[in-house]
Structure 1
């Protein structure tokens, strides 16, 4: 199994170190056996440790991944027994980070006992693998990337798991439409008498073309459903369903249906968001707590959302989370009929909002956004995207009153500068700050940002920051675990070195780093990351043309005993995901670094647009056979292919 040799040595070392600190220490020192002997011999030192003690250790530890536990179980009979007992006690499993083949998956799933909650990446699995754990015990089932599963299997889930409370299914839009007739959701959903949350996603394709997969879904919903998320959803069918059961033939509003009375969360991806749709949802769902609507118009909508539609939300007395997003994926347009007046009405009628996300409101100015900030005193998440009229003025007084903001996201707001960021940094509870595409944000605000003691996520993608700004971040106290510098053209290798100098907090806290689209990044910068970042598990260097094979070798060695001398006594994590898309400086020689024992623990790597996929791919085939847990993406997907899996096949 992947990581067997490495994980075995690590765990043996841990157990030996633990024994030296206990009453068993003397006997261990007397043996003076090598690690290799301990692994190979039947009279291993591990066999002498009472199983009850190992069980206690495993229950206290929090292994990084399932891989580690499965690997150490092969070291000795005692460990094998302890690990199996631990796994059999788990009732909740999340395998979404692994793209497993059926054989490996079956070997893992057999170790578990009664499974109540499970999340699975199904891309490489077959029907038999899924059937192996389905049953009355399953209450929460999340099946992602279901392109390899038959619709007949998915249609039988409700009958096989009648006690389901949460069901999520994710399909590919690029399918044989005739096969959809096997997707009989009526029989499946009709058997789930306790279903509270239903989420169905169809990834890829246009809404009008693939929306047929979910036709009639509203009429199949059990009355117990409280959370409904559909992608895509037909705006017309949503209106027809809600209006059919809520209006008389004369158009007079009557009492909502039982289904409407129970629904508290609704999330829909539509072709167009209109006033009629918003008004109907507001009137039909009296207990609505979360409303999440996103549209993807293919042309300029004729009946678009306006202030009138926004005003209808005032009647949603329980609303705490609102998201209205216009995607620019298919057609660059915006909500041109919604103005500051709509925001004024919203802020006065929905003062209980705790989370708000607005994207594409090109006619709303600082006055409108400020009214929301000032009126919604419990606001924790504030996200604005593609707001061409939003400027620093919206945040100029934010430091004068206590704020509970924890998550702020300002994407592609070109008038936002460092002055606004300094004001936002007065919110001491801030945990996440996203300034992607705010090109006027510079170094001058980073001193304030670096003092935020709860900040774990920072996105400076496309900002006008420099190496000096990186020095400020490196010396700060913010425990940042996720950092994006994508497209920061003025940051060079020198700036990357500044981030991790003097053994600052960032070197220990950072786990995810995005250095994509940075022309000043070379092998020296990558070496600084390898030497200075103890906990890094995810790295993006896409479109960094000066990165060569030397960087791949350094990354492959990360986590080995020789790579992190400066953090003596602390365990360095290994890289799980690497995005090297379109790194033209990489040659086919880098393939040898993807072979064992380098890149121990690697789960995903993106190498599309590089010379690593040139030729007959014999080398990649060999690597794939050797490392069955590794996903090799030869396309241009972002990290993990979470939004690109429907367009291509994994592996080679």
Structure 2
């Protein structure tokens, strides 16, 4: 079916109130692209584009804005009830912000991301003026403005504290704010958000190069009850700032990845948060002592990432699982830790914790012994390695073809994702693929799974894939016939 016909038929179906096009829409560019959307159902409340070029988006927005003008009162409005819009574009600009504000009066959730391939000029960039268009109707609950570093190290250089101050004045009702790449915004701007948005629950700031501990200096004096905080690549943040942040005792998700100046004292402060279930600490300066603070905590931790924490050793595993906090962990990332060896994984296997996802990629001291220990681990009397849904052992120097044998039945019966090094015995890997048709095998270093660490909309919420009836039947012991498998090589 032609793309235009697909959109038209889908949107005319009154059953659909949400549409996600998670691909490059430019591949289906058509001169009547905008006009096709004029047939959209007025029941559409949610729209998401994986990527849409500005040329196509501009044409669509011109149509949207035109239908909002008094002279077009007899013309049906496009997207009259749209509440949620998620876009990935070339550039986030002032014109884009103005058009969205005029044309989408029912919007409560706006998620915008760009990835410039060249430094934007002023006419194709976001400035303080553009931020003033946000939430002119006063009903916006979530705003996300992210400048990706995918192609170029670039930032929103034309936005400073004044722009954020103006935005915060009109955004007091916001419950979720995500800002990425605002390199000229200082503590003054970020503090304005914290002190103006009394309903704020989720705060996400990335590449906040001027954010310091002062942002949270008097956070205890506010009425904020934050539940989700992400402060990735905020390298001026120290243990003092995290100590003050921890006064928000309702915190459930904390992302401090790549905050290089955070150490053990920060973890001691976080250990008192009784609702914390997701903690991401990649690349921080923590040691085994800091992990022991977590181990003595009393919170229901289910997801923990310690990727690239170079000070950690094998001793961090018994320190973490000595108390009760580690026994709820289902997703665990121990990748890129140079001193982590098979002894750590043996300690982990002895705990018999039902870990669902384990990443130990690029650990030079991890070898076949770790695979054998995990394969032999029984959880609650189940089969060998019964809980493991994802295992990533890519580029672990001591893994040999012998380890591949431990992925045959009956070991790892629930395994769906496996990361291994492609140069291992290729025949054995191919045989494994044929014998385990429901295992996605990645051999080139791809990150595995659904990317729950970076989910923008669910904020790290992870739901395990349900087994269909055929797969359940096969896993219960019936012989599986050879079939195609999703192998990323």
TM-based fold match above 0.5: yes
In 2, the alpha carbon distance for the partners of 1:621 and 1:189 equals 40
Q: Deviations over 1:257-284 (max 9, x none)?
A: 5334211111111011100010110111
1:157-176 matches, cutoff 5 A: none
The structure in which a higher percent of residues are helix is: 1
The correspondence for 1:589, drawn from 402, 406, 412, is: 402
In 2, the alpha carbon distance for the partners of 1:338 and 1:211 equals 34
Structure 1: give runs of 5+ residues left out of the alignment. Answer: 1-151, 153-180, 565-570
The correspondence for 1:605, drawn from 405, 409, 418, is: 418
* Alignment partner of 1:229 is 2:66: no
1:59-74 matches, cutoff 5 A: none
1:377 shift after superposition: 0.5
> In structure 1, what is the equivalent of residue 301 of structure 2?
480
In 2, the alpha carbon distance for the partners of 1:402 and 1:572 equals 46
* Alignment partner of 1:577 is 2:384: no
User: Secondary structure of the equivalent of 1:262?
Assistant: coil
The correspondence for 1:284, drawn from 92, 103, 108, is: 103
The correspondence for 1:620, drawn from 399, 424, 429, is: 429
> In structure 2, what is the equivalent of residue 633 of structure 1?
442
Instruction: Label 1:651 to 1:626 Cα distance change in 2 as closer, same or farther (>3 A).
Output: farther
Instruction: Label 1:559 to 1:517 Cα distance change in 2 as closer, same or farther (>3 A).
Output: same
The correspondence for 1:295, drawn from 114, 125, 128, is: 114
1:578 shift after superposition: 0.4
Q: Deviations over 1:452-502 (max 9, x none)?
A: 11100001111110011111111111211000000100011011221112x
Q: Deviations over 1:490-543 (max 9, x none)?
A: 011011221112xx2223211000001100100011112212251211100111
1:599 shift after superposition: 1.9
* Alignment partner of 1:426 is 2:247: yes
1:546-561 matches, cutoff 5 A: 546-559=365-378
CA contact (8 A) 1:311 1:346 kept: yes
CA contact (8 A) 2:18 2:44 kept: yes
User: Secondary structure of the equivalent of 2:254?
Assistant: strand
Compute the RMSD of aligned alpha carbons: 2.6
1:492-511 matches, cutoff 5 A: 492-501=313-322, 504-511=323-330
In 2, the alpha carbon distance for the partners of 1:584 and 1:575 equals 22
In 1, the alpha carbon distance for the partners of 2:187 and 2:352 equals 40
1:603 shift after superposition: 1.4
> In structure 2, what is the equivalent of residue 489 of structure 1?
310
* Alignment partner of 1:384 is 2:176: no
1:246 shift after superposition: 3.1
1:391 shift after superposition: 0.8
In 1, the alpha carbon distance for the partners of 2:191 and 2:439 equals 47
In 2, the alpha carbon distance for the partners of 1:584 and 1:572 equals 22
1:318-329 matches, cutoff 5 A: 318-329=139-150
> In structure 1, what is the equivalent of residue 29 of structure 2?
212
1:560 shift after superposition: 5.5
User: Secondary structure of the equivalent of 2:133?
Assistant: helix
In 1, the alpha carbon distance for the partners of 2:11 and 2:104 equals 22
User: Secondary structure of the equivalent of 1:185?
Assistant: helix
1:591 shift after superposition: 1.1
Q: State the TM-score, normalizing by the size of structure 1.
A: 0.65
In 1, the alpha carbon distance for the partners of 2:379 and 2:82 equals 51
1:254 shift after superposition: 6.8
Q: Deviations over 1:7-49 (max 9, x none)?
A: xxxxxxxxxxxxxxxxxxxxxxxxxxxxxxxxxxxxxxxxxxx
In 2, the alpha carbon distance for the partners of 1:395 and 1:498 equals 30
In 2, the alpha carbon distance for the partners of 1:347 and 1:396 equals 19
User: Secondary structure of the equivalent of 1:184?
Assistant: helix
1:572 shift after superposition: 8.9
CA contact (8 A) 1:366 1:394 kept: yes
> In structure 2, what is the equivalent of residue 202 of structure 1?
23
In 2, the alpha carbon distance for the partners of 1:253 and 1:350 equals 30
1:402 shift after superposition: 3.2
* Alignment partner of 1:518 is 2:355: no
In 1, the alpha carbon distance for the partners of 2:50 and 2:298 equals 41
* Alignment partner of 1:351 is 2:185: no
Q: State the TM-score, normalizing by the size of structure 2.
A: 0.86
CA contact (8 A) 1:481 1:512 kept: yes
1:253 shift after superposition: 8.6
> In structure 1, what is the equivalent of residue 216 of structure 2?
395
> In structure 2, what is the equivalent of residue 436 of structure 1?
257
> In structure 2, what is the equivalent of residue 650 of structure 1?
487
> In structure 2, what is the equivalent of residue 335 of structure 1?
156
CA contact (8 A) 2:441 2:486 kept: no
Q: Deviations over 1:162-206 (max 9, x none)?
A: xxxxxxxxxxxxxxxxxxx47731453254123211111116xxx
> In structure 2, what is the equivalent of residue 68 of structure 1?
none
CA contact (8 A) 1:225 1:259 kept: no
CA contact (8 A) 2:40 2:79 kept: no
In 1, the alpha carbon distance for the partners of 2:12 and 2:173 equals 37
User: Secondary structure of the equivalent of 1:465?
Assistant: coil
Instruction: Label 1:270 to 1:400 Cα distance change in 2 as closer, same or farther (>3 A).
Output: same
In 2, the alpha carbon distance for the partners of 1:234 and 1:638 equals 26
In 1, the alpha carbon distance for the partners of 2:120 and 2:278 equals 36
* Alignment partner of 1:416 is 2:237: yes
Structure 2: give runs of 5+ residues left out of the alignment. Answer: 453-484
CA contact (8 A) 2:67 2:77 kept: no
Bigger radius of gyration among the two? 1
> In structure 2, what is the equivalent of residue 168 of structure 1?
none
Instruction: Label 1:572 to 1:635 Cα distance change in 2 as closer, same or farther (>3 A).
Output: closer
In 1, the alpha carbon distance for the partners of 2:317 and 2:374 equals 15
